[in-house]
A = this chain, B = another copy of it.
């Protein structure tokens, strides 16, 4: 299983008048976690795109448990629990605050798409080979 960890400091702009991080902002946090997970696998999402592959999100789920607040230093644990097959990859997220309280859990499924054809494609070999080491 692949697992990595990233820290995000909550910005003022991300709060709402309830005094919590707006529920819609976790999607961006999850994406930061994915980008950093890829970077730790030596994969650059930026390069993936520059080679004509995009990764739109097919599905997202979030279960909110406790609120995040301004200036909290969040820890996001991101996991790819099973080695991806076919055209898709699923990430799981757990968000903690500094008191190690679990704030929310989420899941996103993304698909690899060829920009030119607009069609799903199998995971690029470069990514598969990087993932290999984590599942043996």
Contact = CB atoms under 8 A, between A and B. Distances in A.
Interface of A: 9, 11-13, 15-20, 22-28, 31-32, 35, 44-46, 49, 54, 56-64, 67, 70-71
Contact of A13 (B19, B24, B45, B58): B24
B20 A12 contact: no
How many copies of the polypeptide does the oligomer hold? 4
A57 to B, nearest CB: 4
A56 B18 contact: yes
Contact of A56 (B23, B49, B58): B23
Contacts of A54: 18
A23 B24 CA distance: 10
Nearest to A71: B46
Given A13-B27, A28-B11, A63 B58 contact: yes
A26 to B, nearest CB: 8
A37 to B, nearest CB: 13
Contacts of A60: 23, 60-62, 64
Contacts of A46: 70-71
Given A11-B28, A32-B11, A62-B60, A19 B17 contact: yes
